[in-house]
Structure 1
Amino acid sequence: MKPLIFIFASLAGSLVATLCHADITVTLRGQVTQQAQYSVPDGTRLNAVLPGRVNSDSWYRGAFFTREQERLKQTGQKAGLLDDFNHLCPGEPTLSQAKQPPRNFNDWCHRVKAHLAALPVTGRKVLESGDPDVLAINLKINPLLEEGDALWYPKEPDELWLIGAGSRWNQPLPYVGGQHLREYMDAIEYSSDWRDADWVWVISPDGKISRHGVAAWNEKPWTPAPGSVLWLPVKESYLDSVPGFNASVSRWLATQALDQWTNHPE
């Protein structure tokens, strides 16, 4: 009996080892040598699937990494944001034509709500770096891959996008190297009583979010990257029922890929 017990134990051990080291599937898209799914052993880190598969014109700063478990979190995030809009603009919409300035705050609120509601749940997980060499030398920012992970490398864009109070949805601006954030504010299309003209929220192409002063009293010269989304915030006096609204919108915009702005103008 002992030999049989030993054989069964060995088989069970092999099965557990096999299950523990089963392959997982990850996807590479965009500026890569081949847009495809790859099977890699469980326990593989992101940088290990990149050598020889990333094109020379890939833009590391815009690397867009998605993970299935993030989708559940972002589904709740989206629902919460739309509920904020229900409190912020509960009245019936009286929408002006899409390419004209909104008639009033209610008009603007319903218009922006519709656009934000149309944005997909992506599952984006922000990377500290999309550079394969940087990932390789720093395990803390080099994630272990999970089943269904995907990475998209875009080309570097030559635009930024204005969204929010004082702009039509997804207004493209030519990127000018070295130009400060405040100078981009000259492109704002209309004035509104509800825009907080002292601040801008910047969603950088790597998914990181920052808030910057653009008024004479609070400006610290700062240069946004190409591919940034600039959220023109709503005044706090309009937001008593939804504190943190501008930050919530910015976090939702940060879940989106660059092609959401380049391929879907208003």
Structure 2
Amino acid sequence: MTKFLPIWLLAGLTFLHNESALANSPTTVILENHQLMLQYNQAVRLDRILLDAQNQDNLVQGLNTYHEGFRLFASDKDQQARSLLTKVKKQLNTLLHDENYHRAAKQLLAQLRLYQYGYREILNLDLDATRIKPELNPILAGQYRLQLTQRPDSIVLFGLSEQQKIKFKADYTIADYIQNSRASHKKHHSYAWLISPEGNVTRVGYAYWNDESTHIKPGSALLVGFGSNDKEIIQLEQEIATLISMIEGSTL
């Protein structure tokens, strides 16, 4: 007679097996600021990686303490970033043939070509926070790249006639930055996409009728899109904003 384990027990055994395999997986982290590699014989907690990275930075008198702008890329998932880039470029190339979107599509294609992209893990990279809250301190296994950064003094606008870097001002809202940009044709749009230094993406109103008076952090990026209510265009804008959050090797 064949004996069967209860489904709940099989699920438990599978979970334990996967957890054990993860714990025994080696982990490497390339510190992009210094071209050094941290190597671990097994999976490691995020706080250990952050501590080791900051200790290495301190050895060379680094000033990379702006954890909001730290970026952790998963090498094993980079294909997802490449696939997203290919999809976005294909859609933008299609819009080049639409007179309503031609100008913005051409600008965005030119701007997106300026960068390299990697799969960014959206994690809280504040060392203190990972130590205080266990839920912010996951176990990591595999190959990663970590980029530390100093506190920038600017924000970047995408989707305008040219990519623009504007000096950060604590009292400025999104509407203020766009109003002071070199793109008068975009000042009358209603929404922009905010890409925070941490990599979070949010659609924010900034017109007189829907202004959310949103203040942003230094190192943020703003995407001013097509000014359309079409759902497919809005989805494309969100994917472009996600790509911007995945920019690697540049502090914008």
TM-score (norm 2): 0.78
- 1:69 partner SS: helix
Amino acid corresponding to residue 50 of structure 1 in structure 2: L
- 1:122 to partner: Cα distance: 1.3
Runs (5+) with no aligned partner, structure 2: 1-19
Q: Percent of aligned positions with the same letter in both sequences?
A: 20
- d(CA) in 2 for partners of 1:20, 1:162: 41
- d(CA) in 2 for partners of 1:213, 1:258: 30
Query: Where does 1:97-112 land on structure 2 (aligned, <5 Å)?
Result: 105-112=101-108
- 1:243 to partner: Cα distance: 5.3
- d(CA) in 1 for partners of 2:231, 2:122: 30
Amino acid corresponding to residue 174 of structure 1 in structure 2: K
Aligned to 2:240: 249
Q: Deviations for 1:49-78, whole angstroms, at most 9, x for unmatched residues?
A: 333641464111001000012211111111
Residues 75 and 258 of structure 1, relative CA distance in 2, 3 Å threshold: closer
- d(CA) in 2 for partners of 1:88, 1:111: 11
- 1:158 to partner: Cα distance: 0.1
- 1:51 partner SS: helix
- 1:148 partner SS: strand
1:137 partnered with 2:132: yes
Q: 2:122 aligns with which of 122, 126, 146?
A: 126
- 1:254 to partner: Cα distance: 1.2
TM-score (norm 1): 0.74
1:179 partnered with 2:161: no
Q: 2:30 aligns with which of 27, 36, 39?
A: 27
Runs (5+) with no aligned partner, structure 1: 1-16, 93-103, 262-266
- 1:84 to partner: Cα distance: 1.0
Residues 133 and 240 of structure 1, relative CA distance in 2, 3 Å threshold: closer
Q: 1:85 aligns with which of 75, 86, 92?
A: 92
Instruction: Assess if the C-alpha contact under 8 Å between 2:191 and 2:204 holds in 1.
Output: yes
Aligned to 1:264: none
Q: 2:223 aligns with which of 217, 231, 241?
A: 231
Runs of 4 or more off by more than 6 Å in structure 1?
17-20
- d(CA) in 2 for partners of 1:173, 1:20: 45
Q: 2:153 aligns with which of 140, 150, 158?
A: 158
- 1:113 to partner: Cα distance: 1.3
1:190 partnered with 2:193: no
Instruction: Assess if the C-alpha contact under 8 Å between 1:160 and 1:229 holds in 2.
Output: yes
Aligned to 1:58: 65
- d(CA) in 2 for partners of 1:242, 1:50: 38
- d(CA) in 1 for partners of 2:144, 2:126: 17
Shifted more, 194-203 versus 77-86: the winner is 194-203
Where is the helix percentage greater, Structure 1 or Structure 2?
A: 2
Instruction: Assess if the C-alpha contact under 8 Å between 1:195 and 1:234 holds in 2.
Output: no
- 1:139 to partner: Cα distance: 3.0
Aligned to 1:147: 142
- d(CA) in 2 for partners of 1:71, 1:146: 15
Residues 19 and 82 of structure 1, relative CA distance in 2, 3 Å threshold: closer
Instruction: Assess if the C-alpha contact under 8 Å between 1:196 and 1:232 holds in 2.
Output: no
